[in-house]
């Protein structure tokens, strides 16, 4: 007689399944290339007179190298980004991890953060601020691609470019999305270093989680038991 089926076994997986970790690190490389080369391209005609990225932080010694890297990196960023968004939607990961966002929880979390009372013991649950930051950076990622396509092909993709107005407005939007993503990366890396097990989890997969009904107590994990 076959053993009875275990419905929960289907729902158990690592906090960060392998495809997600691979896409995360590909994205990290792509973002690095896009920002470094984007800064090189920006330097050729600055938007803000005072802001000029030092040569030591840009990718590409000459303009053409910056452009080559940017139009190479865009393929990785876009293809990987589409895969990531599709994965998050299809597997229900976004729905489980990023929703719902309670307005009350936002205030509570911000208050906790300001008093340095934030708890990171449970890696499997995102607080309201994390949810907003993750959704925000995804939105910035989408807008930076749309504005990037509009900059690259303002005539061929005129329907996209017309969403923004004139050419310099598109550049500004593209730049502000970059600034938002850089801001996110600073917070993201700082928190990952403050809570190293979150970094380990993005490498090794992290604790096994059960996609049961939301907000049930998570099963004991290797991290909790080791603390």
Binding site for other proteins (CB under 8 A): 41-42, 44-45, 56, 59-65, 67-69, 71-72, 75, 152-156, 158, 166-168, 171
Considering the complex, state which of residue 12 and residue 168 has its C-beta at the smaller distance from other proteins: 168
What's the min distance (Å) between Cβ of 169 and other proteins?
Answer: 11
Considering the complex, state which of residue 116 and residue 159 has its C-beta at the smaller distance from other proteins: 159
Considering the complex, state which of residue 64 and residue 86 has its C-beta at the smaller distance from other proteins: 64
DSSP 14-76: ESS-HHHHHHHHHHHHHHHHHHHHHHHHHHTS-SSTT----GGGSS-SSHHHHHHHHHHHHHH
What's the min distance (Å) between Cβ of 214 and other proteins?
Answer: 43
Find out whether the peptide bond into 100 is cis, omega within 30 degrees of 0.
yes
Considering the complex, state which of residue 64 and residue 102 has its C-beta at the smaller distance from other proteins: 64
d(CA 133, CA 203): 21
What's the min distance (Å) between Cβ of 23 and other proteins?
Answer: 21
What's the min distance (Å) between Cβ of 6 and other proteins?
Answer: 48
162 alpha carbon, distance to own chain's centre: 27
Positive or negative, the CA dihedral 113, 119, 123, 124 is: negative
């Amino acid at each position: 007689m076959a053993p009875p089926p275990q419905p929960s076994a289907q729902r158990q997986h690592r906090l960060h399944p392998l495809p997600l970790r691979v896409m995360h690190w590909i994205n990290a490389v792509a973002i690095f290339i896009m920002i470094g080369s984007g800064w090189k391209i920006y330097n050729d005609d600055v938007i803000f007179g005072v802001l000029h990225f030092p040569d030591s932080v840009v990718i590409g010694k000459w303009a053409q190298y910056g452009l080559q890297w940017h139009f190479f990196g865009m393929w990785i960023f876009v293809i990987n980004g589409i895969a990531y968004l599709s994965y998050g939607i299809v597997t229900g990961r976004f729905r489980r991890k990023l929703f719902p966002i309670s307005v009350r929880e936002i205030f509570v979390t911000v208050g906790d953060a300001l008093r340095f009372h934030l708890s990171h013991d449970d890696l499997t649950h995102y607080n309201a601020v994390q949810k907003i930051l993750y959704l925000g950076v995804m939105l910035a990622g989408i807008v930076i691609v749309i504005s990037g396509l509009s900059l690259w092909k303002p005539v061929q993709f005129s329907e996209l470019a017309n969403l923004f107005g004139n050419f310099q407005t598109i550049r500004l939007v593209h730049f502000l999305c970059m600034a938002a993503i850089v801001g996110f990366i600073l917070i993201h890396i700082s928190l990952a270093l403050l809570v190293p097990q979150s970094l380990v989890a993005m490498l090794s997969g992290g604790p096994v989680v059960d996609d049961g009904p939301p907000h049930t107590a998570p099963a004991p994990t290797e991290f909790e038991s080791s603390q």
